[in-house]
């Protein structure tokens, strides 16, 4: 399979280049080490400092200062049908960028469906939209790569018909069976009986079912429709700077920065010795 090249694009002057490249390296590591082998998607993520500098053929995940209501964060497709995503600059923007990157790789065109039983027993079969970060969508299920917060994601086994011992349903292992939705997460599907897009949420420990209606008259993909109709407070507004998980990642990065500075000093000494010799 040909590799997919993703560009993490910085369309803002509000973030230091060092932080931007550090997040890009973490996303690349998540994609190549964690996500790619599980989903069978060879891909890379490279930092690009403007859209003008993006190589031809890359799929952009674009970091911007703010997103107006007409544009919206999340997944989109350009006029050639190629995917891109917009990510708002927040204190936890790496989590949003990871979420959008992984969902783009799993379902580039926003229309990948997998059949399975309706969440309500006795309601027949439906077609689930493949959104790999939505069922565990909550910062409590995030993890870190190089001290950068990234999103948890489901595995292909999430759509299995029944649970089986020893099977991994999400990368962090917090999802314990097929089609389970954790607090703050959701799943979406097409109901073939009425052609409506429906959802199952878990909020405050309560289960909620929503009918989003049909795609009739909507110009985008099913995933664009779902993104437009669904609130994602953590992705839109980010986490509070005082959030425990975010603070822990920041403190770990500050601690490891000293180690990186020492490594850089050692390498520069080695360079000088070679030049002198």
Q: What is the number of domains present in the chain?
A: 1
Does 124 reside within a domain?
Answer: yes
Model confidence at 69, in pLDDT bands (50, 70, 90)? very low
Q: Whole-angstrom Cα distance, residue 90 to residue 32?
A: 25
Contacts of 125 (CB under 8 A, 6+ apart): 115, 116, 117, 118, 192
Model confidence at 70, in pLDDT bands (50, 70, 90)? very low
Whether pLDDT at 73 is above 80: no
Q: Which residues of 130-155 are buried (b: 16+ CB within 10 A; e: fewer)?
A: bbbbbbbbbbebbbbbbbbbbbbbbb
The pLDDT, as a whole number, for residue 274 is: 74
pLDDT tens-place string over residues 142-190 = 999 999 999 999 999 999 999 999 999 999 999 999 999 999 999 999 9
The arithmetic mean of pLDDT across residues 118-137, rounded, is 94
Q: How many CB atoms lie within 10 A of CB 249?
A: 23
The pLDDT, as a whole number, for residue 276 is: 64
Dmax (CA) of the chain: 78
The pLDDT, as a whole number, for residue 268 is: 87
Q: pTM score > 0.85 for this model?
A: yes
Phi, psi dihedral angles at 261 (to 5 degrees): -65, -40
Does 256 reside within a domain?
Answer: no
Question: In this structure, what DSSP letter does residue 124 have?
Answer: -
In angstroms, the first-to-last Cα distance of the chain is 47
Does 258 reside within a domain?
Answer: no
Contacts of 244 (CB under 8 A, 6+ apart): none
Q: How far is CA 19 from the centre of its chain?
A: 18
The arithmetic mean of pLDDT across residues 231-243, rounded, is 75
Q: Whole-angstrom Cα distance, residue 35 to residue 152?
A: 10
Half-sphere exposure of 141 (CA within 13 A, CB side): 25
The pLDDT, as a whole number, for residue 67 is: 60
Does 221 reside within a domain?
Answer: yes
> What is the chain's mean pLDDT, rounded?
90
The pLDDT, as a whole number, for residue 93 is: 95
Domain assignment of residue 76, given as a range = 4-251
Q: Whole-angstrom Cα distance, residue 87 to residue 54?
A: 17
Does 262 reside within a domain?
Answer: no
Which residue is it, tokens 């550090």? 22
Does 247 reside within a domain?
Answer: yes
Question: In this structure, what DSSP letter does residue 170 have?
Answer: B
pLDDT tens-place string over residues 192-212 = 999 999 999 998 889 999 999
The arithmetic mean of pLDDT across residues 247-254, rounded, is 78
Per-residue tokens: 219 = 């110009």
Q: Whole-angstrom Cα distance, residue 111 to residue 131?
A: 10
Does 274 reside within a domain?
Answer: no
Does 273 reside within a domain?
Answer: no
Q: How far is CA 180 from the centre of its chain?
A: 18
């Amino acid at each position: 399979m040909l590799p997919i090249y993703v560009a993490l694009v910085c369309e803002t002057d509000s973030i230091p280049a060092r932080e931007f490249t550090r997040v890009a390296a973490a996303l690349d590591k998540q994609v190549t080490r964690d996500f790619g082998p599980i989903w069978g998607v060879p891909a890379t993520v490279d930092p690009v400092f403007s859209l003008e500098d993006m190589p031809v053929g890359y799929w952009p995940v674009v970091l911007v200062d703010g997103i107006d209501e007409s544009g919206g964060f999340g997944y989109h497709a350009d006029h050639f049908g190629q995917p891109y995503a917009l990510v708002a600059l927040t204190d936890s923007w790496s989590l949003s960028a990871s979420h959008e990157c992984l969902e783009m790789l799993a379902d580039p065109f926003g229309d990948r469906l997998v059949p399975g039983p309706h969440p309500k027993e006795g309601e027949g079969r439906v077609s689930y939209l493949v959104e790999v970060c939505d069922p565990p969508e909550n910062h409590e299920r995030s993890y870190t790569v190089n001290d950068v917060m990234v999103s948890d994601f489901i595995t292909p086994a999430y759509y299995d018909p029944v649970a089986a011992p020893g099977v991994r349903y999400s990368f962090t292992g917090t999802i314990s069976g097929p089609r389970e939705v954790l607090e703050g997460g959701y799943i979406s599907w097409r109901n073939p009986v009425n052609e409506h897009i429906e959802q199952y949420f878990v909020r405050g420990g309560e289960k909620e079912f929503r009918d989003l209606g049909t795609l009739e008259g909507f110009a985008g993909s099913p995933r664009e429709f779902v993104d437009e109709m669904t609130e994602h407070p953590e992705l839109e507004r980010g986490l509070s700077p005082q959030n425990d998980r975010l603070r822990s990642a920041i403190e770990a990065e500050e601690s490891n920065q000293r180690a990186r500075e020492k490594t850089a000093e050692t390498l520069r000494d080695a360079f000088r010795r070679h030049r002198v010799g």
